[in-house]
Amino acid sequence: MTDIIQLLPDHVANQIAAGEVVQRPASVVKELLENAIDAGAEDIKLIIKDAGKTLVQVIDNGKGMSVTDARLSFERHATSKIKSAEDLFQLNTKGFRGEALASIAAIAHVELKTKRPDDELGTAIEIEGSTVKSQEVTVTPTGTSVAVKNLFFNIPARRNFLKSDTVELRHITDEFHRVALAHPNIAFAFYHNGSELFNLPNENYRQRVVHIFGNKTNEKLVPVEEKTEVLKISGFVGKPEYSKKTRSEQFFFVNQRFIKSPYLNHAISAAFEGLLKDGYHPSYFLNLTVDPKTIDINIHPTKTEIKFDDEHTLYAILRSAVKHSLGQFNIAPVLDFEQQSSFDTPYSYKDKAGKAPTIEVDRSFNPFADEGSNSGNTSSKSTSARTSFKSAPAANWESLYVGLESKGNGRQEHDIEASFENNIKTETIFSDASVETSKTTFQLQQKYIVSTLKSGMLIIDQNRAHQRILYESFLKHITIKEATSQQLLFPLQLSFTPNEVNIISGLKEDLEHTGFVFSDVKEETITITGVPVGVPESEVSIILEQLISDVEHDVPDANFSATDLLAKSMAKSLAIKNGQSLNNTEQEHLVNSLFACKEPNISPTNRPTFITLSTDDIEKKFM
Ligand code: ADP
Ligand code: MG
């Protein structure tokens, strides 16, 4: 028998990768604009023809490339932006995968011209479908120009898949808005078929917003400024009376990167509560700055998704900052900050001195208190999200635990209670073997659940673990087509764009199998009369928005399964967030439900849900 495995030739591999990076002309626009920004350009021009189908060109006055770099820039995984895997956690640049230019060159005709400031002459390279057609020395201004012509010339199916010029131009304009809003200190110009659509000078953020969205915008804007230890917010929200039926003016930037986050979007809606007419959405243009170490940018190039270490706190700070601004500008009628718990307001962060990294101990934790009395710092929102795994059956995996075998019957619990009473007098940090054995889990940084194993310890990522649990349970419900739903007291009306309504109606049947009941799905409104048991009404819009954004971003391919996507998306929306504290019972439920799953070790998006640390590993660290 001969061997049958062959390595794909580079140009084929590039074409496959290109399918992921480049979905439409707007993706090329995004990649090229981001490269120009990464190159330190102060002036960037975007020139397109026929909605990008014939030409997408970006000209910048950035640092340019050497002859060798110019050639290398088209190689896959060629990047000047990261050198090792560690750098991934400290990203300050937009690009980092070194895939964009190689991918684009695989499916288009590309002409590159580039020159560094100190060089006399520059380099010109022409590539067609990954093949270099020419390379020469040329006279060209400092900076880089990349012209991408005849996109998908060699993949007719993809070319036919493109929408009308109007639609493609709208996608390009959206990308342009996002990049231009994130960088008001860079001048941008944008031309389509020879006419100028935008000409934006270097300006401040307010001017940039007004230049893009029109002069009338100026009077609508309410500034939002907040600085806490974990998060800096700056930007604007629109006054409530200017809210819109669409979400076209909603922008979050995290460290100057545009992101979509239905969860944080909900924080803003919550701040506007009571101020908006039904079906209207607030405008916002908000820049969030966080330590790059505390976020995880989805490695997928086309996704505008991001994971925060502590979403729960960000939510609270954001809501409170927006509420505060609306109040200051006399927009919100009554604001009672005293009523909020200290956790909810950022002002407690303001006066706090810098804190050294510590292991957080939940002081209110009492393993022997009954469940209800132990939830002092959990919001009703989080409690309800959790109910969904409480009912999950405990798995038969207890053998993993040290000392757990003796637990789980009423009599035993009384014994422990008795011994606890005795211990109170002598309680010290280090003593108390009894407490140690009865408390089998604890929470670290409100993010990880730590538990003991016979052979060491187990560290579970609470968010990923819960996603896995919910994902499997949703999948089951959808496939066996039986779900219990809870009826809403009043029908819930949500408004969406016609396109978004289309997406939802495409998934209507599957959604009904999870427990949703729709009484009406039309043009721009969806009316819901029932939701899956355990899903609070306030989360419904987050779930549907997340779902729409997931469907819109999913790369269409053969493996696309609406059911799977729905289950993943709902699991993501409803899973316990990082930053959410869990009491001991909840922690144990989470651990047990995780190991009752079919595939406990990975999240629905294929990330590890837990790691183990053996006693050997620990011993080694003490050597
Ligand atoms: P990435 O941006 O992920 O590094 P790209 O394929 O987009 O990957 O670009 C590859 C490399 O080419 C970049 O790392 C950069 O060094 C160089 N490059 C691309 N565009 C420009 C530009 N406009 N100006 C200067 N260098 C550029
Ligand atoms: Mg790039």
Model pLDDT for residues 95-127, shown as the tens digit of each residue? 556 788 998 999 999 999 999 999 999 999 999
Residues of the chain with pLDDT > 70: what percent? 74
**Cα 343 to ligand 2 centroid, rounded to whole Å:** 39
Q: 69, 101, 297: which to mutate for ligand 1, most atoms within 8 A of CB? A: 101
Q: Tell me what pLDDT residue 505 has.
A: 87
Ligand closest to the CA atom of residue 66:
1
Helix (H, G, I), strand (E, B) or coil at 604: coil
389: which 2 tokens?
Answer: 């795994």
Q: Give the separation between CA 552 and CA 180, rounded to whole angstroms.
A: 22
Helix (H, G, I), strand (E, B) or coil at 79: coil
Contact 96 CB / ligand 1 (< 6 Å): yes
Q: Tell me what pLDDT residue 22 has.
A: 86
Of 432, 439, 572, 553, which Cα lies nearest the Cα of 503?
553
262 and 574 Cβ atoms separated by less than 8 Å = no
Predicted confidence (pLDDT) at residue 384 exceeds the cutoff of 80: no
* Lowest-pLDDT choice from 7-11, 26-30, 335-339: 335-339
Predicted confidence (pLDDT) at residue 607 exceeds the cutoff of 60: yes
Contact 26 CB / ligand 1 (< 6 Å): no
470 and 614 Cβ atoms separated by less than 8 Å = no
Contact 39 CB / ligand 1 (< 6 Å): yes
Q: Please tell me the residue having the least CA distance from ligand 1 atom 20.
A: 35
Q: Give the separation between CA 41 and CA 51, rounded to whole angstroms.
A: 24
Q: Tell me what pLDDT residue 293 has.
A: 79
Contact 191 CB / ligand 1 (< 6 Å): no
CA angle 323, 326, 332 (to 5 degrees): 90
Q: Give the separation between CA 117 and CA 63, rounded to whole angstroms.
A: 7
Of residues 484 and 168, more confidence is placed in 168
Q: Tell me what pLDDT residue 472 has.
A: 92
Residues in the chain: 623
Return the ligand 1 atom nearest residue 63 CA.
25
Model pLDDT for residues 229-286, shown as the tens digit of each residue? 889 999 999 999 888 887 889 999 998 889 888 889 999 999 998 888 877 889 999 9
243 and 283 Cβ atoms separated by less than 8 Å = yes
Contact 88 CB / ligand 1 (< 6 Å): no
Among the ranges 189-203, 392-406, 575-589, which has the highest mean pLDDT value? 189-203
Instruction: Give the global pTM.
Output: 0.68
* Lowest-pLDDT choice from 21-30, 297-306, 500-509: 297-306
Q: Tell me what pLDDT residue 546 has.
A: 83
Q: CB 301: neighbour CB atoms within 10 A?
A: 18
Q: Tell me what pLDDT residue 543 has.
A: 87
* Lowest-pLDDT choice from 36-40, 66-70, 84-88, 571-575: 84-88
Ramachandran quadrant class, 52 (left: phi over 0; alpha: psi -120 to 50; beta: rest): left
Give the CA-trace dihedral at 509, 515, 519, 523, to 10 degrees. Answer: -50
Average pLDDT of the residues of the chain: 79
Q: Tell me what pLDDT residue 502 has.
A: 84
Q: Please tell me the residue having the least CA distance from ligand 1 atom 21.
A: 35
Helix (H, G, I), strand (E, B) or coil at 314: helix
**Cα 251 to ligand 1 centroid, rounded to whole Å:** 26
Residues of the chain with pLDDT > 90: what percent? 41
Please compute, for residue 368, the number of CA atoms within 13 A of its CA located in the half-sphere on the CB side: 18
Predicted confidence (pLDDT) at residue 382 exceeds the cutoff of 60: no
Looking at residue 27, its amino acid is S
Q: 35, 97, 179, 299: which to mutate for ligand 1, most atoms within 8 A of CB? A: 35
What is the enclosing helix (H) or strand (E) of 476? helix 462-480
137 and 122 Cβ atoms separated by less than 8 Å = yes
Contact 123 CB / ligand 1 (< 6 Å): no
**Cα 599 to ligand 2 centroid, rounded to whole Å:** 35
482 and 432 Cβ atoms separated by less than 8 Å = no
Contact 95 CB / ligand 1 (< 6 Å): yes
The residues pairing with 608 across neighbouring beta strands, listed in sequence order, are 602
User: Residues 415-443: what's their mean pLDDT?
Assistant: 45
Q: Give the separation between CA 239 and CA 252, rounded to whole angstroms.
A: 17
